[in-house]
Amino acid sequence: MNIFNNLEKPVLLQFSATWCGPCRALTPVIDQVEIKMTEHADVKRIDIDKQAQIASDFSIRAVPTLVLLDKNGEIFWRHTGLISEKDIIQQIENLK
């Protein structure tokens, strides 16, 4: 599946869609995570309508879904639904 390997930093993938309300609610949370954790992880936002292949590679069956990849592109953590900034940052910290 991997277009995500040999990464400089871990990558947080946010799978979302324009028609999904909870995805919108999660976006400001991810914005904050991106700002606060910029040294430790890259954030990539994936619109499942435009990048359906990536969504299918990661077997996405619900949005919003977050997937945290380690530097080797392996899935370290996965979460569906709303979640707090603190809990996401904790997962990125766990990867350090």
Q: Where does this chain touch other proteins (CB under 8 A) — which range of 3-11, 20-28, 39-47, 68-76?
A: 20-28
Q: What angle do CA 71, 29, 74 make, to 5 degrees?
A: 20
Binding mask 56-95 for other proteins (x = CB under 8 A): ---xxxxxxx------------xxxxxxxxx---------
- Is 46 an active-site residue? no
What is the bridge-based pairing of β-strands 75-80 and 65-69? antiparallel
Q: Which amino acid is at 65?
A: T
Query: Is 85 known to be catalytic?
Result: no
Q: Select from 1, 2, 24, 94 the one that contacts other proteins (CB under 8 A).
A: 24
The CA distance from 22 to 27, in Å, is 9
Catalytic residues: 20, 23
